[in-house]
Amino acid sequence: MTQKHLFLLLLSLCCSFPIVAQEALWDNTAIISPQINPDHSVTFRVPAHKAWKVELTGDFLPPSTVNTPDGPQPAPGRVEMNEEQFGIWTYTTQPLEPELYSYFLRIDGQPALDLSNVYVNRDVSTLANIFIITHAKGDRGSLYSVNEVPHGNLEHVWYDSPTLKMQRRMTIYTPPGYDKGRRYPVLYLLHGAGGDEEAWITLGRTTQILDNLIAEGKAKPMIVVMPNGNMDSQAAPGAWSKGMYKPDFQRSLTPYKPVATMDESFPDIVKYVESHYKVVADKQHRAVCGLSMGGGHSFAIANRYPQMFDYIGLFSAAMRIGGAYQTDSFYNKLTASNDICQQIDRLFAAHPKLYWIGIGRDDFLYEVNKDYRRYLDEKGYKYTYVETDGGHIWRNWRIYLTTFAQLIFN
């Protein structure tokens, strides 16, 4: 044993938790899971020596169906793993297409993470392991990976929102070379319900997508501002004074009653960004887009401030009329709302350079967005429409960001 090895052994004996892993029958440090194979299949290995059944659930498996109070619903695929060696459960997928994938385990029915894989994303209150499949430079997996390219910086920033009467947190990406002095356009990128100012970074891979698109010359260098769209919170769970609460779609536990909407309070964000960052502060150099609730926020913000943005993107947008999210009859409700129709008239009279709508064919908001397109078509308002496979999922939102980011500031 060399002196270095002795030192490392002593160190690992002193760290509180590694020792417990080492004490286990199964030396966790020797297990590689997931293992990405040369043919782009993936092998998972889970130590569970007393388990009767170990299952793998992941968005790379053929979808399954679950029963709910509202009838059968599609669910992520789920397969049984095999106990190939005693106590080590294994499963190897088919070769996978380039993508960022999520998964978790069920050990005797109990949800569990693959603890051999330290890469874990939180989606609202659910943790899942992730991995990325890349076949070749420039494919989707490569775009979501950290590559040997110049990197932008990422900042967690606190700003004052006089409209909401609180300090709030947002995440800001500045492109490579930002310190060299020139001024940049700004993309405001909004998250969905249950998300926060970290969602586009962790689940959305925004840093990697922008770094890679900029390096390939496919997107203009830009600042990306990711605010928190929950008017009853200062920041992501755990990042503000409410402490380590359990995230929830409902969020009924927060001490704040919202005193303004996202669109009403949005100028606080723009004001902070334009006074603290090297930006070009005009309509041609501002874009706003968002997913789901954030798509609805983008809709409302663009409507309220028709002179603010030349680029507007609605990703699987959940739009509100009269304060309520619309899940059906959107065309009728929209045409019955004079205020919003007039706002849309004013917005298109200001000739935005791009009004972009993207949605998945299986999205529960598909009909709402179809109704909205019918309205825009009847008015003769120009927009770009992209329809993809799949539903209301991050895979689509990463694709929409990748597409939208290449179309703006040109």
Max Cα distance, the chain (Å):
79
Compute the least distance from the CB of residue 51 to its own copies, in Å.
7
18 versus 258: smaller Cβ distance to its own copies: 18
User: Rounded distance, CA 13 to CA 154, Å?
Assistant: 35
Which position among 42, 132, 301, 334 is part of the footprint of its own copies (CB under 8 A)? 132
28: which residues sit within 8 A by CB, 6+ positions away? 21, 22, 47, 115, 116
Tokens of 27: 């030396």
Site for its own copies in 104-123 (CB under 8 A): 104, 107-113, 115-120, 122-123
Is position 57 an interface residue for its own copies (rule: CB under 8 A)? yes
DSSP state of 184: B
Counting Cα atoms < 13 Å in the Cβ hemisphere of 302 gives 33
Site for its own copies in 222-241 (CB under 8 A): 237-241
**At residue 270, what is the residue type?**
V
Is position 260 an interface residue for its own copies (rule: CB under 8 A)? no
Burial (CB < 10 A; 0-12, 13-18, 19+), residue 337, is middle
Q: Which of 74, 276, 293, 263 is nearest to 158 (CA)?
A: 276
Which position among 167, 332, 342, 384 is part of the footprint of its own copies (CB under 8 A)? 167
Q: Which one of 19-27, 221-229, 278-286, 373-381 is the stretch in contact with its own copies (CB under 8 A)?
A: 19-27
Is position 47 an interface residue for its own copies (rule: CB under 8 A)? yes
Report the 10 Å Cβ neighbour count for 9: 12
Q: Which one of 186-194, 223-231, 305-313, 402-410 is the stretch in contact with its own copies (CB under 8 A)?
A: 186-194
Q: Which one of 66-74, 305-313, 349-357, 374-382 is the stretch in contact with its own copies (CB under 8 A)?
A: 66-74
User: Rounded distance, CA 186 to CA 409, Å?
Assistant: 9
User: Rounded distance, CA 314 to CA 355, Å?
Assistant: 8
- Looking up tokens 């002196």 gives 3
Give the x/- contact pattern for its own copies in 341-370, rule: CB under 8 A.
Answer: ----------------------xx------
Q: Measure CA of the first residue to CA of the last residue in the chain; give whole Å.
A: 60
Is position 136 an interface residue for its own copies (rule: CB under 8 A)? no
- Please state whether 92 falls in left (phi above 0), alpha (psi between -120 and 50) or beta: beta
Q: Residue 70 to residues 32, 67, 73, 208, 326: CA-CA distances in angstroms?
A: 40, 8, 8, 38, 19
Q: Is the dihedral of CA 271, 276, 282, 286 positive or negative?
A: negative
Compute the least distance from the CB of residue 354 to its own copies, in Å.
26
146 versus 336: smaller Cβ distance to its own copies: 146
Site for its own copies in 267-286 (CB under 8 A): 276
127 versus 349: smaller Cβ distance to its own copies: 127
Q: Which one of 37-45, 46-54, 224-232, 305-313 is the stretch in contact with its own copies (CB under 8 A)?
A: 46-54
**At residue 109, what is the residue type?**
G
Which position among 59, 196, 263, 268 is part of the footprint of its own copies (CB under 8 A)? 59
Strand pairing report for 384-388 and 354-360:
parallel
Site for its own copies in 304-323 (CB under 8 A): 318
Is position 124 an interface residue for its own copies (rule: CB under 8 A)? yes
Is position 98 an interface residue for its own copies (rule: CB under 8 A)? no
Compute the least distance from the CB of residue 57 to its own copies, in Å.
6
- Alpha helices (H) in 337-393, listed in sequence order: 338-349, 366-379
Is position 9 an interface residue for its own copies (rule: CB under 8 A)? yes
9 versus 349: smaller Cβ distance to its own copies: 9
Is position 180 an interface residue for its own copies (rule: CB under 8 A)? no
87: which residues sit within 8 A by CB, 6+ positions away? 25, 26, 47, 48, 49
Is position 102 an interface residue for its own copies (rule: CB under 8 A)? yes
Site for its own copies in 375-394 (CB under 8 A): 391-394
Compute the least distance from the CB of residue 305 to its own copies, in Å.
25
Compute the least distance from the CB of residue 171 to its own copies, in Å.
10
User: Rounded distance, CA 393 to CA 54, Å?
Assistant: 26
Is position 243 an interface residue for its own copies (rule: CB under 8 A)? yes
